Chains A and B, each alone.
Chain A
Amino acid sequence: MVDPANTPLGKMLLEEITPVVMVLCTPLVEESCLKNGLSFIQMLSPFCNFTNIDVPVRTASDQPYRLQKFKLRLFYASDIRQPNLEVAKERLKQVITQAGEKDFSEMWSDPPQVNDLLSRPESEILPSWFQFFNEELVRTLSFSDHEAFDHPVACLLVVSSRDEEPINRFVDLFNTNKLPSLLNDGAMDPKILKHYLLVHDNQDGASEKATKLLTEMKSTFGPNDCQLLCINSSQDRQIHHQENPWAPFKSDALPTENLGCFLNFDDFNEIKDLMQELSSKHIIPYMEQKIRVLNQQVSATRKGFRNQIKNLWWRKGKEDASDSPNGPVYTFSSVESQIRILGDYAFMLRDYELALSNYRLISTDYKLDKAWKRYAGVQEMMGLTYFLLDQSRKEAEYCMENAFNTYLKLGSAGQQNATRCGLWWVEMLKIRDQIKEAATVYFRICSEDPLHSAVMLEQASFCYLLSKPPMLHKYGFHLVLSGDHYKKCDQVSQSLKYCDNVPNSRSSNILQCFHLQIKHAIRTYRSAVSVYKGTTWSLIKDHVHFHIGQWYAFLGMYDVAVTHMLELLACSHQSKTTQELFLRDFLQIVQKTGKTFEVLKLQLPAINISSLKVIFEDHRTYASAAAASVKESVWHSLEEDMIPSLSTAKSNWLELQSKLMPKKYKESNICVAGEAIKVDVEFKNPLQISISILSVSLICELSANLEEMNSDGNGSNIELQNDENKTSTSTRDIDSSSILSEVDLSLEGGETTLVQLTVTPRVEGILKIVGVKWKLSSSVVGFHNFESNSLNKNVAKGRRKAKYSPDNYLKFIVIKSLPKLEGIIHSLPEKTYVGDLRHLVLELSNRSKFPVKNLKMKISNPRFLNAGNQRELNVEFPACLGKKTNVVQSGGHSNINKVLQNVFLFPENISVQEETSLSWPLWFRAAVPGNISLYVTIYYEMEDVSSIMKYRTLRMHYNLQVLPSLDVSFELSPCPSRLQEFLLRMDVVNKTSSECFQVHQLSSVGKQWEISLLQPVDSILPSQSLFAGQALSCFFKLKDRRKSSTSEDSIPSPSLLLQSDVRLGPQGNSEALFDVYSSPLADFHNSERLHQGMPLQGNEYKVDFVFISQLLKGNIDSGAPNTPLLISHHACHCSLSSMSSISWLVDGPQTVQHNFSGSLCEVNLRMMITNSSDAVASVRISTFDSPSSSIQSSDASAPQPGLPPENQAGWCDIPVVNDMKVITSDALATRFTKSVSLESVSQFIWSGSSSTKLRLQPRSTAEIPLQISVFAPGIYDLSNYVLNWNLMPSSEEEKQGEASKSSGVCQGYPYYLTVVQST
């Protein structure tokens, strides 16, 4: 522990608690002093402080010790009285206010952060004026009567040598009526040590007269109490003292005036010696002497057991008498005050033990007397003494607390003392590192005077900051509290100013004088900000910022105010009313500034930067926003084989650009002058109240020179950006270089809206989109820079290539304007039914000055959309589909070819001239149900080769919803009676909810098919219309006419004309059948086939059907309202269900008459086998009725006509057969009976070879004779044979992947033969 005397408190005490010398001097003395710009006391005071006076002193108990440090306090007699409280307060206020001004002036920098605040030493953290303030505060209550250390110890009487009869002057200087009240009202002893000083001004002449006077004084007042002081020795020239000793004692000294200018070195020493002698020779010995005397008296009356008892008894006795509020009055002669004086003197002479003992003694007395103020004062001194003795801290603190509380108990009377006591206590705690406790004491010091408590609270806050570990939360809290108090005392002063409008001495500015302390308030709040910064205690944070803003606004410093108000804007957590309040005040303050604020990253509204999306058109142009939002890869794949250089090398469009255009364009995006770049930004309103934002627009830099690109000297860009801002803030700016679109929108609470902004460059150069800006009000402009945000998520959104640096992302090279086609497909339905067939018109318009040529078009989905040819442009629909006699397949085929390589080439002669438009027919058919998106790309080239881009593409994107309409299914089954003829079953179900379709026609595609109704539709469907949910199934006969031509056929085809269409409408219906062979039906049909992955000409055993119906009055938009919608359904590759490529027919008599009495009956049948496949087929017919090897042998020798030569294998069996021939007859009988016994059926046996093998050429038919022998009349089923067949697959079948099975086993068809007994 350091020596307590060296601690701040110790120093303070040694300053404050020192002997007081009362000075009485004549005006002439003052006058001569004032020549030096000093009062008499000021002149002396530099010499009143002795660091090393070295005076030997003896304690009451005769311990010698030497006094080193000593100080005298000089006061004019007029000042020795309790200072007036009001004056004191005013002075304090001024102190604070000046401090406030000073701190405020250096507060332009940001308040220091808490962390580096902690890192600094304490001295820097604490405001310097606290110390000063505290001392002032202590001084305000000197010379109170309840404590003695302010009572003058000696009296210095000063008379000038110019005074006439100085001796009398001396006498009447010290006459009682001029003396301070302390001496008169008997609080202290009037007989005090007097010292007589004669001041001679050397400028008045030589000092003989003075010396004469001195001797005279000595004779009258005694020899060693008189002294002569000569000053102003330097008559003519002024002396300039460096480090002027008087400066610190004259606070209001102007630097110009030269203090003590007439005091030369001799005067200097003379004054010094004077004071030295005064204190060492007179005052200290006097005090020492007095201590002895008092000590003896006290010990005589009070020490010792008996005295104690007596004293107690006596006090008890007079206790009832005294019930005045602060105890009885004690005159100087009373033993109590003597003890007190003794204690104080001892204290001042550093004899602390003595002081302490006396204080102890007296405190009990005061306590008993309920003289609380004195008691508290004594307790206070005890505490200090304990402290200076540096023993038993607890005692010290206890005493201080005791004193403090006692003072507080006294109410307002003790308030000041309580404060002083508290300050000393605090100092004590600080020295003992009990800083937190110090803070609490500061807190308790707070009185009702707001200013006072504000300062105390601020000091408390610093205590919390300095405590280890720092208690930042409390620091912040107390800062805020003190700020509030500072503010409050402004209100108080305001009211004061109102009630008595005393113009403020310091500043006439009314606003200033109302806000004296607001600067302190701002300061404290600002340092509080650093505590709450970065935390989520948003309520507190907002409160702090809000008030700082308001107060700055009071002071008229609107700019700073705005910066603080900005913190409040995004207060989504606040209540609605608060939000309104904040916003309103913010706007008001901004208006007061009278200028427009341009705020970077204004939080209102919030921008969702991830939603940022840039749409620009280089060689890729878009017909609609929908098209622009389609993924690039889709278009890319679509355009691949259309754009020349792409088709050769798989490369993204960039290398293409590098091929086509100079190097420098490679790195950056291209856009065309006069064409808008669209930017989508999402704004969100965080508040609950609705805000309206005006003139949202982009910020762009457009620099003319292209070399800007490589050497990014942004100099020119910047200035250009500036004038861009200037112009763009003005409404609807038409800048020479570019056009910016402006949007006004108002956001409801919590609303989020997507805004599309456009910039249209008009000259070539480099365009850079810097950010977006908007106006929150007329005078608040918010900026948001895109660059500052990470763009990685935008890469996906905007069409970026990963190789771009983010810098390039929003950088565009503007090239000179190019032709641009705009396209639209007229009357493309949003919503339609499956099979809907329409005739649409594509219109391409060229707004630019230059024509374009070499148009190509590619359609993503040929099943849905097909290009027609020009002559179809304005045909009427659907009549154009009608069968025409003169129709040639060329139209259809030409289209087919074009569709084949998927790119539709417009004829070479077609070119879109400037300001004209081209219309082109399109055929549309809704192929499948569902949500379909169609992509159409149109490629075109510029006529003028000078331009950087050689070609552009127009991209169109349409979404349509296709509803299921009719469900058409076909089933094909062979008719058992005829070859080459099939039974076709068509099932139609109306899947729609409300529509009514009218069946119109069914056509089979492919020449060889002839289709005919089995029964007229009227019988099935009287009204040829199919209502919602209704199903229709009708049967047709399908005949393969090509077959009938190849194989000679018994039944001739009834009609030779081609019958591939069947009208399902009413018979009398005159409207023409539609031609399924001409485009567009043919095209769509082909694409259907293509879709199913079949070659255009499949094998003929698969049939395609086109079913056409009409939707009379649909509730969906049709291209032309009056005409019915045409619905066409295409069913491809309908093949015979379980149709093997081998078919046969057993032919023969149905009934035979025979007389069984004679012989058994032999019936000849024949089987016709047809190989309908393209492969050679080998067929084996094996008949079985029993293990009947014998039967075959009966006429095995019968040669098989048409038997393929390689079937010689049959021959080798014969010898074996012949051997067996013998046994056949009886074996027959036996087996016959057995057969009867076994099975009742098959009264017949197959005769002839039981297994016949034959080989069928592709597409050939062979006939095999069969014979059975019947033994009894009856009805026989001749189905008990098996046909084994398999195809020798030929090579082309292999690769064709023939679907039908290549081998099989077929049971025979039932064939009933009736044999009757003939008589």
Chain B
Amino acid sequence: MIVCVAVVGYQNNPLYIQSFTDADDALKLHHIVHCSLDVVDERVNNPKKSGPTLNETFLGLLYPTENYKVYGYLTNTKVKFILVTTDLDVRDADVRNFFKRFHAAYVDAVSNPFHVPGKKITSRTFAERVSTIVKSFGLSSVG
């Protein structure tokens, strides 16, 4: 299952970070996301190690921690999407699909004229959309 998703701005400032676990491990997940930023930078700086095609937004598996898998996605506008999951076998397609929908949700959220760019995303609709996407991710990966 997905334990955490995050949106990180181009200055590595967290725009939205949401954990989906009952346990109180928000701090750990924050740390994981925070660390993954280094890997993202690494991937971008020397793209030979990065995803299948050059400069693809989807960065693939960033790094496996002891019991998590962290996937990354970097938009053209240097906004990073991080996905932390506990699933052991994740199909790449699922992750790509997830990120695509996540990105769409993000775009709609920041297109809100009342959203201040670079500030945390507080829109409730965005949160709901993200949670639905996360749920559906679980389902699709099962199927």
Contact = CB atoms under 8 A, between A and B. Distances in A.
Interface in B3-27: 12-14, 26-27
Looking at B13, B30, B34, B35, the one whose CB has the most chain A CB atoms below 10 A away is B34
Interface in A537-574: 537, 539-540, 543
A539 B26 contact: yes
A540 B34 contact: yes
B124 interface: no
Contacts of A540: 27, 30-31, 34
Interface stretch (B36-44, B84-92, B97-105): B36-44
Contacts of A536: 13-14, 120
Contact of A474 (B26, B38, B120): B38
Looking at A469, A471, A473, the one whose CB has the most chain B CB atoms below 10 A away is A473
A474 B35 contact: yes
A543 B34 CA distance: 14
A158 to B, nearest CB: 54
A472 interface: yes
B45 interface: yes
Contact of A477 (B12, B13, B31, B41): B31
Interface string A472-487: 1110110010000000
Contacts of A474: 35, 38
Interface string A519-549: 0000000000000000111011001000000
A537 B41 contact: no
13 contacts: A469-B45, A471-B41, A473-B38, A477-B31, A477-B35, A480-B31, A535-B12, A536-B13, A537-B14, A537-B30, A539-B27, A540-B27, A543-B27
Task: Give the top 3 A-B pairs by smallest Cβ distance, nearest first.
Answer: A471-B38, A473-B38, A536-B13
A537 B16 CA distance: 11
A472 B38 contact: yes
Given A539-B26, A540-B27, 15 more contacts: A464-B38, A471-B42, A473-B12, A473-B38, A474-B38, A476-B34, A535-B12, A536-B120, A537-B13, A537-B14, A537-B34, A539-B27, A539-B30, A540-B30, A540-B34
A539 B36 CA distance: 16
Contacts of A539: 26-27, 30
Nearest to B9: A536
B15 to A, nearest CB: 9
Contact of B41 (A464, A469, A535, A543): A469
Interface of B: 12-14, 26-27, 30-31, 34-38, 41-42, 45, 120
A476 B120 CA distance: 22
A539 B13 CA distance: 12
Given A469-B45, A472-B38, A535 B31 contact: no
A309 to B, nearest CB: 44
Nearest to A477: B35
Nearest to B24: A575
Nearest to A478: B35
A536 B16 CA distance: 11
Contacts of B45: 469
Contacts of A464: 38
A473 B34 contact: yes
B84 to A, nearest CB: 14
Nearest to A481: B31
Nearest to A536: B13
Band of interface residues on A = 10 to 19
Interface string A1274-1291: 000000000000000000
B46 to A, nearest CB: 10
A473 B14 contact: no
A535 B118 CA distance: 12
A540 B35 CA distance: 12
Nearest to B45: A469
Contacts of A477: 31, 34-35
Nearest to B36: A473
Contacts of B13: 535-537
Nearest to A542: B27
B109 to A, nearest CB: 17
A472 B35 CA distance: 8
A474 B12 CA distance: 13
Contacts of B41: 469, 471
B30 to A, nearest CB: 5
Interface string A455-471: 00000000010000101
A471 B38 CA distance: 6
A42 B17 CA distance: 61
A464 B42 CA distance: 12
Contacts of A543: 27
A564 to B, nearest CB: 17
B39 to A, nearest CB: 8
Contacts of A473: 12, 34-38
Contacts of B12: 473, 535
A94 B69 CA distance: 38
A471 B39 CA distance: 8
Looking at B14, B31, B41, the one whose CB has the most chain A CB atoms below 10 A away is B31
Contacts of B120: 536
A476 B38 CA distance: 11
A1149 to B, nearest CB: 86
A464 B39 CA distance: 12
Contacts of B26: 539
Contacts of A480: 31
Contacts of B36: 473
Contacts of A537: 13-14, 30, 34
A1274 to B, nearest CB: 84
A480 B27 CA distance: 11
A473 B6 CA distance: 16
A717 B61 CA distance: 65
A535 B14 CA distance: 9
A473 B120 CA distance: 20
Nearest to A531: B34
B139 to A, nearest CB: 30
A471 B26 CA distance: 22
B11 to A, nearest CB: 9
Contacts of A469: 41, 45
Nearest to B40: A473
A51 B38 CA distance: 45
A469 B14 CA distance: 22
Nearest to A471: B38
B32 to A, nearest CB: 8
Nearest to A573: B120
Nearest to B15: A536
Nearest to B12: A535
B133 to A, nearest CB: 23
A261 B97 CA distance: 80
A1257 B70 CA distance: 107
Nearest to A480: B31
B96 to A, nearest CB: 25
A627 B41 CA distance: 61
Contacts of A535: 12-13
A540 B6 CA distance: 15
A921 B26 CA distance: 73
A474 B30 CA distance: 12
Looking at B26, B30, B36, the one whose CB has the most chain A CB atoms below 10 A away is B30
Nearest to A538: B14
A408 to B, nearest CB: 15
Nearest to A476: B34
A444 to B, nearest CB: 11
Interface string A750-771: 0000000000000000000000
B119 to A, nearest CB: 9
B141 to A, nearest CB: 28
Looking at B35, B38, B41, the one whose CB has the most chain A CB atoms below 10 A away is B38
Contacts of B31: 477, 480, 540
A476 B33 CA distance: 12
A1017 to B, nearest CB: 63
A464 to B, nearest CB: 8
A793 B41 CA distance: 43
Looking at A464, A535, A537, A543, the one whose CB has the most chain B CB atoms below 10 A away is A537
